Amino acid sequence: MAYGIAGYGLLLLLHVMILPVWGHHNTQHVPEILQKVGLDQQLNAQIPLDLPFHDAAGKSVQLGDYFQDKPVILILAYFDCPNLCPLVLDGLVKAMRVVRLELGKDFDVMTVSINPRDTPELATKAKEGYLNRYRGAHAAAGWHFLTGEQEAIARLAQTVGFRYTYDPQQKQYAHASGIMVLTPQGRVSRYFYGVEFSPRDLRLGLVEASRHTIGSPIDQLILMCYHYDPMTGQYSFIILPSIRLAGLLTVAGLAMFMGVMIRRDRRRKTEVG
């Protein structure tokens, strides 16, 4: 069956968004090439920090150069992708502009091309375009666009469970749709599927990946009430911890109220005496 570029892109988008929840056992009606595509969660996997790449300036770098004291959002894409990659990157920009954390200060983003023919020139063009959309003061130092050889690309993709393949008929890559949040040590912490990302989920994922060194005390309270669901790549509200937290806050509020009333009563007795 032949698909145009638009139809192919729609099929791919539906496939990579539904498959993580639906499961691999319902693939009989999916085109064969798309059965090779997916995003398999490899939580806590350590990415190889010694893998060699080139940054947008053409400088030789290693992945470890970008892992120090901040969590990193990882995106596997390619720079002349006509379908999913721009949607994923645009969705991330929209979420980052809402999240009350700053790119380049609280977290970094690493976009790695899966196309070994992509060049630093293409990486530079892509970086400039998305930096203009995000418009953050520290973004240029925090968003990295990398190119590399096939061996390094394949090893990174395999480590994080990103399955993709090249379609010679369409002359483009079929690949998964989603992003990964990595710890400052380069371990896979969270997966978020699709092309639109909840700012709340993204913030919670970054806070958790950073081991609570970023964010506010309110974020820590919210994390007590939300649970990350690996199947959907979302944070869902859980009732029992929420009830417990509400109970603790109620008790604390009553204790404060009683303390104020006792002090007021003592003050009155002192004034009367």
Mean pLDDT, 10 residues at a time, the chain of 273 residues: 47 49 51 82 96 98 96 97 94 96 97 98 97 95 98 98 93 93 96 94 94 71 66 66 52 69 71 61
The predicted structure's pLDDT at residue 9: 53
The predicted structure's pLDDT at residue 255: 67
CA-based nearest residue to 230, from 69, 33, 39, 75: 39
The predicted structure's pLDDT at residue 232: 74
The predicted structure's pLDDT at residue 24: 45
Domain ranges of the chain: 5-210
Q: Assign domain 5-210 to its CATH superfamily.
A: Glutaredoxin (3.40.30.10)
CA angle 262, 266, 272 (to 5 degrees): 145
